[in-house]
A and B are shown apart, each in its own frame.
Chain A
Amino acid sequence: MTIRFNDETFRDDYTFRNSPEAVRRFPFPFDQDSYMYSVNIEPHRRGQAGSVFQHRFDVDEHYIAEMRDREITLKDDPLRCQSLPHMELAGWDFLELVMTCKAEDYPDLFSLTRDGDRWHWINRPLGIEQKFTFLDATTLPCGPMEYITRQTQGDHALLDQRDGNLWLDAGMITSQADWSLDFDIGMNFFEWHAPVPKAAEMGVFQRALKFLLNLQQGAPVRRLNWTMTVNPRLDTSPENYHKWGPEKRTLTPETVGEKQFLRVELQTLWRLPRSNAIVFPIRCYLCSLEDIVTVPKWGRRLHRVLRDLPEELATYKGFSVNRPMIVDYLSKFDDGAPTSPGIFPDN
């Protein structure tokens, strides 16, 4: 299957669009008609063909445009990419993981040839060809984590494991749901999760950390997380809140279906071999409400979930101001019929 890459933007004129196929493969995050936090972690196994779970690192029609958007964000704010000095080895581990997975999963798009430590990487969609020496950062144009994350959709955090905790010591974060790498860098698992309401008292973080500390090589896991974003904007960072925050107030009942997006993060976690670090890719998928309701099951379910969501979660996810308008819009697509279990569309 060859992918036709879109020419589109995630800012200013917002020309981002999902093709009908992209809507069908959107990772709708709700497997039932209500939502509460859970440690909803499952093995990151290969999913059905065509789904976002088919390959270990999903490449889709937005790839080139997303990488272009990342470049713009980094140019304005280089601190979106940081790696503390002890994380370089983890960066190499991650570079190897992405290059080997992509070359195996998309041989028509990527290729990797290894002769000992001398590697040859070709990225056809982005027109990149690079010969370099593995573990020698002077042979790449930038550090290994920055190099590979400029070619990989999604944000990426590298977590160091020590003292019975995980430490956010490196990352490439340009498409985040309102959190800042520059603020969080060097924090441990409990510190960077401190703003999340309710979950700490539920003991979610203790359980999740214990699970992650024992994450094993070759056994990656995944979970879906979600929030709501007005306009198809990747860079919803605190640093640029003044640019996107006011856009929340531009919704009208006429435009809500087109301008309100469900933002889903496919989060995966992988143990890295040489560094014993964990890499945490956070892959963002956007889908407008008017595209979501083209799948009747999703329209019904999203209405019920957002209508019944506890207020503090709507506030934390930043859409309480628009919730009545969103729920009102979605109610027109909910006939009260029962929905089937699981996240996938009914055929």
Chain B
Amino acid sequence: MTARLLRVAEVTPLSSLITRFRFECPDGGTLPLFSGGAHVVVEMPDDGVLRRNAYSLISDPMDGSGYEIAVRRDDAGRGGSRFMHSRVAVGDTMRIGAPVNLFSLDLRARKQLLIAGGIGITPFLAQLRQLMRLQLPFELHYAARSREDAAGLKLLPDLPQVHFHISDETRQVDLDAILSCQPLGTHVYTCGPAGMIRAVETVATRLGWPKGALHSEAFLAPPPGAAFQAKLARSGKTITVGPHQSLLEALEAADVDPPWLCRGGACGQCETAVLSCKGQIHHHDHWLSDAEKASQTRIMPCVSRFQGDELILDR
């Protein structure tokens, strides 16, 4: 993976839970531009464990002077967000991967309709800049539980096509109202909790939206689970995957390095053949087809886990 060493230039708390980090080239150079919706993978050397988390870029895609991300602190999570909040300070250097976009705008759309839930606002912050620069029509809806949770409020432009929905101010999102009055050729993008993505899909389908006009990005962190073992046929190793570790991380800790880009079950790079499976694979990815998942012959080590007697991988 192509990663570069960048300097932490700013650490800005946006709310009690969410902090913005800005990275710049240590030599003042320019970073590659990107497209709205792109993410970078941030490497965190956390007491002997190398964590790699993907974060959407929230800064202006046409501005190469720095990259910005927003991280929501999740104390029940695996530790990446805790590391960012408690251990990272201005002046530190961190390894940041090249931007990769798995959630890009379909520029054929007559209008772009963006629906964000909570921290799911992040990819849209960059897309908004891109849309405004290209002067393309858009509408954004941003739903959050409370103002405290709505860190994006401060980062969004004051425009009539930007709408806020704060639950505890009883301003719920009315998806029916939003989705039923859009011009033909509109594309809708949803980023937020799985329930919100499902709700948009359900309403849009009922209203007759074409499938190709629906886009979504679930922010998928590797789910924790019971520890399990895997045998690696090619490298002749047996590894144990800890409860808060992903199979991919356990492979890397054993110096087996599958290719990866998103580490979130979407890009397909780390797909691995399963040579023997006596038990049940818990698939959590968006990459394999239902038939492939049922066959238990492939696994996405970045997010999926195993329970049973024997798992042999072609690694």
Contacts and interface: CB of A to CB of B under 8 A. Distances in A.
- In terms of DSSP, what is the predominant structure of the interface of chain A? loop
Contact of B32 (A87, A89, A218): A218
Given A163-B212, A210-B268, A218 B34 contact: no
Given A86-B108, A216-B98, A275 B2 contact: no
Nearest to A164: B268
A42 B213 CA distance: 35
A219 B32 CA distance: 12
A273 B100 contact: no
Contacts of A210: 268
Interface residues of B, number: 25
Nearest to B260: A214
A162 interface: yes
Given A213-B267, A214-B261, A214-B269, 8 more contacts: A214-B100, A216-B261, A218-B98, A219-B98, A273-B99, A274-B34, A276-B38, A276-B104
A254 B268 CA distance: 54
B56 interface: no
Interface of A: 84-87, 89, 135, 160-163, 210, 213-214, 216-219, 273-276
B261 A89 contact: no
A216 B62 contact: no
Interface in B209-249: 212
Given A216-B98, A274-B61, A161 B33 contact: no
Contact of B98 (A86, A160, A162, A217): A217
B81 interface: no
A93 B211 CA distance: 29
A214 B267 contact: yes
Contacts of B34: 217, 273-274
A162 B2 CA distance: 23
Contacts of B99: 217, 273
Contacts of A273: 32-35, 61, 99
24 contacts: A84-B108, A86-B106, A89-B107, A135-B133, A162-B104, A162-B106, A163-B212, A210-B268, A213-B267, A214-B100, A214-B261, A216-B2, A216-B98, A216-B100, A216-B261, A273-B34, A273-B61, A274-B35, A274-B61, A274-B62, A274-B130, A275-B35, A276-B35, A276-B37
Interface in B94-143: 98-101, 104, 106-108, 130, 133-134
B205 to A, nearest CB: 17
